[in-house]
Structure 1
Amino acid sequence: MSTGTSAALHRRAVVADTHNDLLCAVVARPVERWAGFFREQWLPQLRAGGVDLQVLPVFIDDPYRPEGALRHTLRMVEAAHRVAEGNADEVALCRDGAEVDRALAEGRIALVLALESAPGVGDDVELLATLHRLGVRVASIAHFGRTMLADGSSEDDAGSRLTRAGVEALAEMERLGMMFDLSHLGLGGVDHVLELATRPLIATHSSARALLDHHRNLGDTQLRAIAATGGVVCVNFFAPYLHATDHSIDRLVDHLEHVVDVAGIAHVGIGPDFVKEVLADTQPPCCEPVPGDDIPPDAYIPGLEGPAGLPLVTEALLRRGWAEDDVVAVLGANVQRLFRTELGRPA
């Protein structure tokens, strides 16, 4: 396998990154700089990495919760719209699969808005419809801790399922065509969603618990069940979720191969969770360490600290002996197919 071969394959593939917190960095700028900052700081990195489809999570920092959560959620949604409007020659904010496909055909990066843990919603489930009207098409209902809808993965010892409002939120998302994101949800909540879900699910940034027993990773039973819904599991690149000490691209490939073996090649994608630059670029940091969590905040796979490094993944997969069609599927074709059939499609 030559570098030229891997580079050509990467250019040919649709690359879908289902989790990059870059909006946190955008909204830290003055409003009049939002579109320009994205163009100067992030667009070159996305282009260098070959990113064609970018999911933009709306993550709300601790200082804004709970009182300011909805206000800051709306600011981040507005920032995404201004980024798209101010860079319409390069990107498009997409509300359904047809708009994603059209953006890609035009050579623009398809942006998809997502809620991460939805603290601005609280237990007012009707606000999901409001946010759907504003373009949000993916949502999770917990982060590390407890919300009014569910417990995050760091609360696994509680063994809790969704709250009544959480059950209502799942049903409302299915009605609207807003995809339910299982990443960060506690294990009991994941299993509860899998019992109730009638539409395909996505895990936007989760790795394999069988390879590293960390609460942020998903077990084989959950991986199989997500695939059975027709959904996709997008593997997280954050090194401490991949291996305790060996923070190399080979350990990332191990997780990708394991999820493929368990869930099937059609149900795997990539959710890098590039946070190094965002953490360095925002005050306060958007993802502060959870008390008692021993994950070092500065542990990243060399070369994969940001989206410009994504061609290294293609090279590593080919070096491991993957078929080209399988590489293309995992880089983004699986997510594109899922979004084409499910994104924004009402029940």
Structure 2
Amino acid sequence: MDALSLHKEATVVDTHNDLILLVDHHDRRGDRRHFADYWLPQLRAGGVDVQVLPICLEEQFQSEGALRRTLLLIERMHELAGEHADEVAICLTGADVDAAVAAGKIALIIALEGAHAIGQDPTLIRTMERTGVRVVSLAHYGRTFLADGSGFDDSSNSALTPQGVEVLQEMERLGVVFDISHLGRAGVDAVLNVISRPFLATHSACLHLTEIHRNLADAQLRAIAEKGGVVSVAAAIPMFIDPADPSAERVVDHIEHMAGVAGIDHVGLGPDFIEDYFMQAFGGWQRVPGFAGTFAPAEIERPADLPKITEVMLRRGFSTEDVNKVLGDNVLRVLREVMGVPA
């Protein structure tokens, strides 16, 4: 089977696309057709069947404005699902995902990146779950009331706060999938010591190949696999893949390394498509803490580029079964087991 046919037949799961930020950017400028005119064609061109939609808050919203901003973006996602009910569906369980995909729709999953909206009130994770949130990380680059992000590794290197542990435990009880991406070293270790259900790193890469705090060390990759988790490769972020050569080939280098260390059953895709937002909202990439160098453009720049990864994997000898695992089957296993399934 050729690469394009395999990609089209596979169930492709993207665990991290910040498209709601660009949708909101266009909304504020009177263009409420952006999702239909740009993102739906891109997702279809990339063969994306399941799209996790994280809410990443800009710095000006990360304190007192976090809850309001988060709820507004969640509401916008529900509006989009209503406006395009023939194309997409917000999913609350793995069974919902399977039903949406079977109906030819793109399954949308609401996520929080950083969980700033929870503040220091762990009970708000229940509120987030009621609004449809099904994937949550506890920190972005910096500090929340729940945990420290990897951008603080050189200064604080702190683990989860008591509130963070409480949120993690409540997520496990409710069936909200934990996302370990962005957590600092000590936070990752703390989660691995207490978590009992499979989880995701929605957009990470290999520290062995690219040395930046956001990437995961081999010991962490193995520990995540032992818990049944999946690490999705942040294929669209040059600083994580290879600043000098963020190509599809280098993306597959990360996939191969993860498979060799953790096993092929624990690798997925979470490209982190955010460049378009940065370019349109800020005129260029925003600074990544801990990275001060230059970088080349990513080859996997938008969803329509995803078949290039399948092409490289096939060329390197990945079996059809293993390609399907990386493209989506591994993440689907976690979603079916955990998402919306109370412990």
- TM-score, structure 2 length as denominator? 0.95
The match for 2:185 among 181, 184, 187 is 187
Q: 1:46 aligns with which of 43, 64, 67?
A: 43
- Give 1:320's aligned amino acid: R
Picking from 11, 20, 24, the partner of 1:23 is 20
Per-residue deviation at 1:344? Answer: 1.1
In the alignment, which residue of structure 2 is the partner of 1:273?
A: 272
SS across alignment from 2:26: coil
Matches within 5 A, 1:97-116: 97-116=94-113
Identity level (%): 50
Q: Which residue of 1 aligns with 2:304?
A: 308
Measure how far apart 1:146 and its partner are: 1.1
- Which residue number corresponds to residue 66 of structure 2? 69
What residue identity is the alignment partner of 2:194? L
| Pairing of 1:213-232 with structure 2 (within 5 A) | 213-232=211-230
How far off its partner does 1:36 sit?
A: 2.9
Please say if residues 27 and 34 of structure 1, whose CA atoms lie closer than 8 Å, have aligned partners that are also in contact: no
How many Å apart are 1:57 and its aligned residue? Answer: 0.2
Measured against aligned partners, the alpha-carbon deviations of 1:57-86 in whole angstroms (never above 9, x if no partner) come to 011111112111110000110111011110
Counterpart check, 1:339 vs 2:308: no
Partner of 1:56: 53
The 2-side partners of 1:172 and 1:278 are apart by 33
Structure 1: tracts of 5 or more residues without a match: none
Check whether the contact 2:13–2:269 (CA below 8 A) recurs between aligned residues: yes
Cα 1:96–1:291 shift into 2, 3 Å: closer
Any residues of structure 2 matched to 1:78-157 within 5 Å, and which? 78-157=75-154
Q: How do 1:201-280 and structure 2 match up within 5 A?
A: 201-237=199-235, 238-280=237-279
Q: Which amino acid aligns with 1:271?
A: G
Distance 2:91 2:32 in 1: 17
Change over 3 Å in CA distance of 1:295–1:53 after alignment to 2: farther
Unaligned runs of 5+ in 2: none
TM-score by length of structure 1 reads: 0.94
**Aligned counterparts of 1:291 and 1:173: Cα–Cα separation in 2:** 28
Show CA shifts across 1:209-234 (max 9, x none).
Answer: 11112100001111111111111110
Q: Secondary structure at the match of 2:50?
A: strand
**The residue matched to 1:204 in structure 2 has which SS?**
strand
Contact 1:65 1:119 in 2 (8 A): yes
Is the deviation greater in 327-336 or in 155-164? 155-164
SS in 2 for 1:67: coil
2:323 is the counterpart of 1:330: no
In structure 2, the partner of 1:317 is: 313
